Amino acid sequence: MGWDFETDAEYQRQLDWVRDFVRTEVEPLDQVLGHPADVHDARRNALVRPLQAEVRKRKLWACHLGPELGGQGYGQVKLALLNEILGRSLYGPTVFGCQAPDSGNAEILAHYGTPEQKKKYLEPLLANEIVSCFAMTEPQGGADPKIFTTTAVRDGDHWVLNGQKWFASHARYAEFLITMAITDPDAPPYQRMSMFIVPRDTPGWKIIRNVGYDTEKAPTHGYLQYDNLRVPADHMLGPRGAAFVVAQVRLGGGRIHHAMRTIGDARRALEMMCERVLSRTTQGELLARKQMVQEKIADSWIELEQFRLLVLRTAWLIDRHKDYKRVRGDIAAIKAIMPKVLHDIASRALHLHGSLGISNEMPFTEMVMQSYHMGLADGPAEVHKVTLAREVLSQFKATAELFPDYHLPLVRERAIEKYRKALEHIDNVA
């Protein structure tokens, strides 16, 4: 029997340290600093760098990576247990060296980068000396990459890119962008695009504007223009025509890492909800004594624990198979349910805090917006439900008969046939 819900004692001690460290040292950063990706901000670096050094000393730096890249190679289950703590704080992932989109970009650089690309981009990225951007979505549509129009045309020893990208997070802080463009327009749809590394100082690209939303620290989602952007030929990342394959390497891990952190965010909302209803009185009794309030607490706990178990089981499957393709359906399921879990729990927390809850003196509107972020980034929930449904349906067969195989008269007929002799024998004796 391999089922086990226990954390080994040594790692549990690490987690206990992380929980305390995040509460006392990291969560307060969210209140006093600007954007975590702004690596040139002196105030940020003065406070964040010593904490990052402490994390390295504890051997908890970049835990999403294997030891060959400076990570611990803990695997996804241990990472999940860590990330659900880091998810409580905006600065958590940065202090522990596993922040998006750098974590995913590091994974594809590690997987597909040439030795030169790794030296120039991966090493400083892993050290958080620089940050990066993944520019894939285009203004005319993100959920269907087949309609992207950005092109890359070969010219001597360069590729020349033209087009626009949309919602490219952290473009304004990034030292390089990883971007996809059509290099082979006549190839089948999923083999038309290639991935490129664009260094920040390359002439020919600009940020038209930085787009944000109300609860963010700063508008950081770049609307980008490429105008005859010349990228050296050796800046192609991965094989020509393989942009979709390369993207999947980062998206599989990225989606489950978001889910791990979302557990932490949702748990924070539940904890606040519990403190409030145990403290607030109405019509002579605590809110916590009202059954409709109790239902909200119970529903939130159940939804959170169901979600957490699904995330942990998927993490375990990844560790076991070491192949994201084999757990595509499980990851799609997590990605699809994640926004709903966070949305519903954060909304209940907001509502139970009344006017205080909706105010800008509480984090609930931010959490609710975060649920929409989780529902869109790395693809909308609907697309992931389609993926999951396809995986589930692929395990079943159609029947050519008029009535289903489980039609009760047929089921009964088969059962009677199966036990006819045994029952006849008993009936005859009787």
Give contact residues for ligand FAD (rule: CB under 6 A). 101, 134-137, 141-143, 167-169, 221, 373, 376-380, 382-383, 386
Around 281, how many Cα atoms within 13 Å sit in the side-chain half-sphere? 3
| C-alpha angle 319-17-257 in degrees, rounded to nearest 5 | 35
Q: How far is the CB of 345 from ligand FAD (least distance, A)?
A: 19
**Nearest residue to the partner ligand FAD, using Cβ:** 142
Residue 17 vs residues 6, 22, 24, 54, 58: alpha-carbon distances, Å: 17, 9, 11, 11, 9
Contact between 330 and 314 under an 8 Å Cβ cutoff? The reply is yes
Q: How far is the CB of 191 from ligand FAD (least distance, A)?
A: 20
The residue (of 221 and 255) whose beta carbon lies closer to ligand FAD is 221
Q: How far is the CB of 339 from ligand FAD (least distance, A)?
A: 10
Beta strands 158-169 and 221-232 are antiparallel
CA-wise closest residue to 87 among 408, 349, 416, 373: 373
> What three-state secondary structure class fits 149?
coil
Q: How far is the CB of 370 from ligand FAD (least distance, A)?
A: 9
The residue (of 172 and 235) whose beta carbon lies closer to ligand FAD is 172
The residue (of 162 and 215) whose beta carbon lies closer to ligand FAD is 215
Q: How far is the CB of 293 from ligand FAD (least distance, A)?
A: 32
The residue (of 213 and 403) whose beta carbon lies closer to ligand FAD is 213
The residue (of 147 and 298) whose beta carbon lies closer to ligand FAD is 147
Q: How far is the CB of 52 from ligand FAD (least distance, A)?
A: 23
The residue (of 80 and 180) whose beta carbon lies closer to ligand FAD is 180
Torsion sign (Cα): 357, 360, 364, 369 = positive
CA-wise closest residue to 76 among 63, 95, 89, 94: 63
Q: How far is the CB of 306 from ligand FAD (least distance, A)?
A: 23
Contact between 262 and 338 under an 8 Å Cβ cutoff? The reply is yes
Contact between 96 and 22 under an 8 Å Cβ cutoff? The reply is no
The residue (of 143 and 393) whose beta carbon lies closer to ligand FAD is 143
The residue (of 142 and 363) whose beta carbon lies closer to ligand FAD is 142
Q: How far is the CB of 179 from ligand FAD (least distance, A)?
A: 8
CA distance 399 to 376: 37
| C-alpha angle 112-116-119 in degrees, rounded to nearest 5 | 95
> What three-state secondary structure class fits 206?
strand
Contact between 130 and 175 under an 8 Å Cβ cutoff? The reply is yes
The residue (of 142 and 253) whose beta carbon lies closer to ligand FAD is 142
Q: Which residues contact residue 222 at a Cβ distance below 8 angstroms, ignoring those fewer than 6 apart?
A: 133, 135, 165, 167, 168, 169, 170, 171, 172, 207, 210, 211
Q: How far is the CB of 265 from ligand FAD (least distance, A)?
A: 14
